[in-house]
Amino acid sequence: MARNRRDLERALSPITSALLKEQGYICFVDVFMKLGYLSPSDYENWRFKRVSCLERVLTLNLPTINFVMKTVRRNSLKGHLKPSITVYKSWGKSKKTLLQFSKSGARRLRLPMPPISLSPTGLQSRLSP
């Protein structure tokens, strides 16, 4: 499943388009799942705090994770999608805590920093009565 940056960039366009059609927004966790770098069970383990950070279960190195996130963000902004903050809290019966994306806790890599991109039409339909 090793891909170079050009292959990743080509793969991102149809994936983000499909997510936008299906859900009305683009979320990085969903992008990584569609790319095959995050399994649903690993995502669930992260949400239940069985894994300390999402970066540990992604099967990509940090520069490639950054590349994917920057590319999706750049393409979303070019497509006039509105970024919004996403907050991931833990699941389960214990106290709900904010989940960490990176091992270092670096602010630029931590979810909720990455946006969920809303489509302009999806946003308008939600705001109109």
Please write the tens of the pLDDT for every residue from 37-56.
999 999 999 999 899 888 88
Q: Which domain holds residue 56?
A: 5-122
Burial readout 63-98 (b: 16 or more C-beta within 10 A, e: otherwise): ebbebbbebbbebbeeeebeeeeeebeeeeeeeeee
Residue 71 structure tokens: 């590319």
Q: What does pLDDT average to over the chain? A: 78
Better-scored residue on pLDDT, 64 or 126: 64
- pLDDT of 22 > 60? The answer is yes
Q: Is the pTM higher than 0.85?
A: no
What order of strands is seen across the sheet that includes strand 82-85? Answer: 25-26, 115-118, 82-85
Segment (H or E) for 78: helix 62-78
What is the tally of structural domains in the chain? Answer: 1
Residue 129 in domain = no
Report how far residue 15's alpha carbon sits from residue 34's, in angstroms, rounded to the nearest whole number. Answer: 7
Report how far residue 124's alpha carbon sits from residue 129's, in angstroms, rounded to the nearest whole number. Answer: 10
Residue 128 in domain = no
